[in-house]
Amino acid sequence: MKRAGIHLVFAGGSLLKPWLLNILACPICKEHPLTVHIIQVESNVLKDSASLAKELVIHFKKGVLSEPSLKPVHNLSSSKDVDKWLAAARNAFASLAKQKPTPTTLQPLVDFLHRLEVLEGILRCEKCRRFYPIGSRIVGVPELLPDAQRDKEADLAFLRKHKDVLPEKLLSGSKPFALKS
Ligand SMILES: [Zn+2]
């Protein structure tokens, strides 16, 4: 029942928030972080941004926050917020070399990690080159499935749908399926 974890995480019907990138790993080779290509995104209104910042301090101290996961993020959407909030999040992490993690110093991470919701995109493991669709069958839901449980036709159709924005390396050089170049 390798899929159980995935279903539990999304049982509430919530969409993929970049916070999840802190803990996602390739289900096959366990590599972390995964590269994310954001194709379509939405931003939501946060009711209690201050509490989320406090929570991030706890996550940081427990080693849950992953600075490396902020590096392989590619914004292929038209949203300028993604770039702005990602830059703020990276800067906040960089500032921790000189400042302590407090709700104030980690506040800039809140927008990127919690306000964004990725409706469609691709996760990719650069180690084993597998790609995993986000929002292919259900909007906002990443499909981190073992090869045998994947739907080849659906996965290839998803790559074709976004072939104009996705990099050639991903389209023709991915596993377990790739588009012919
Ligand atoms: Zn992998």
Each residue's pLDDT tens digit, 48-88? 999 999 999 999 999 999 999 999 999 999 999 999 999 99
Q: What is the pLDDT of residue 12?
A: 43
Instruction: Enumerate residues 6+ apart whose C-beta is below 8 A from 8.
Output: none
Q: How far apart are CA 80 and CA 111, in angstroms?
A: 13
Each residue's pLDDT tens digit, 146-181? 999 999 999 999 999 999 999 999 999 999 999 986
Q: Is residue 178 part of a domain?
A: no
Q: Is residue 181 part of a domain?
A: no
Per-residue pLDDT band at 126 (split at 50, 70, 90): very high
Q: Is residue 177 part of a domain?
A: no
> Please, which residues have CB less than 5 A from ligand 1, an ion?
26, 28-29, 31, 125, 127-128
Q: How far is the CA of 24 from the centre of ligand 1 (A)?
A: 11
Look at the chain and report how many structural domains it folds into.
1
Q: Is residue 179 part of a domain?
A: no
Which CATH number characterizes residue 138's domain? Answer: 2.20.25.10
Q: How far is the CA of 20 from the centre of ligand 1 (A)?
A: 17
Q: Is residue 71 part of a domain?
A: yes
Instruction: Enumerate residues 6+ apart whose C-beta is below 8 A from 111.
Output: 81, 85, 88, 89
Q: How far is the CA of 33 from the centre of ligand 1 (A)?
A: 10
Q: What is the pLDDT of residue 22?
A: 95
* Residue 30, domain extent: 4-172
Q: Is residue 66 part of a domain?
A: yes
* Predicted model pTM: 0.90
Q: Is residue 143 part of a domain?
A: yes
Q: Is residue 150 part of a domain?
A: yes
Q: Above 80 in pLDDT, residue 1?
A: no
CA atoms within 13 A on the CB side of 83: 6
